[in-house]
């Protein structure tokens, strides 16, 4: 899947998200795009995941993106350690929209 092609209107010339869409479908594709940037198998602290997300968007809201990635099943969170880890297999955006509406 080429999420970047689908969300091209939301990306700047460097490939960074310049806005987080209001429409659910585009939001999910943006989250998929960001999830692809998270190294699979690596555990990130909250600060590390924020830093990674901040390097891939321009609107300075890593907390919202982090929360949305978790809520939409792109990452797992261990609240006792405050760590995040990308799912080994990313969920299909179309399946997420069916599941969560």
CATH number of 70's domain: 1.10.10
Rg of the chain's alpha carbons, rounded to an integer?
13
CA dist 100 and 63 (Å) reads 21
Domain containing 34 equals: 3-100
pTM for this one? Answer: 0.92
User: In what helix (H) or strand (E) does residue 66 lie, and over which residues does it extend?
Assistant: helix 62-71
In what order do the strands lie in the sheet containing 43-45?
Answer: 43-45, 83-86, 75-78
Q: How many domains does the chain have?
A: 1
pLDDT in tens, 16-73: 999 999 999 999 999 999 999 999 999 999 999 999 999 999 999 999 999 999 999 9
């Amino acid at each position: 899947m080429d999420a970047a092609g689908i969300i091209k209107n939301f990306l700047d010339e460097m490939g960074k998200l310049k806005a987080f869409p209001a429409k659910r479908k585009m939001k999910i594709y943006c989250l998929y795009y960001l999830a692809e940037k998270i190294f699979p198998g690596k555990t990130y602290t909250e600060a590390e995941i924020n830093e990674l997300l901040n390097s891939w968007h321009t609107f300075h809201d890593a907390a919202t993106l982090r929360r949305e990635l978790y809520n939409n099943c792109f990452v797992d969170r261990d609240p006792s350690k405050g760590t995040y880890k990308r799912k080994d297999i990313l969920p299909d955006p179309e399946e997420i929209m069916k599941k969560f509406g």
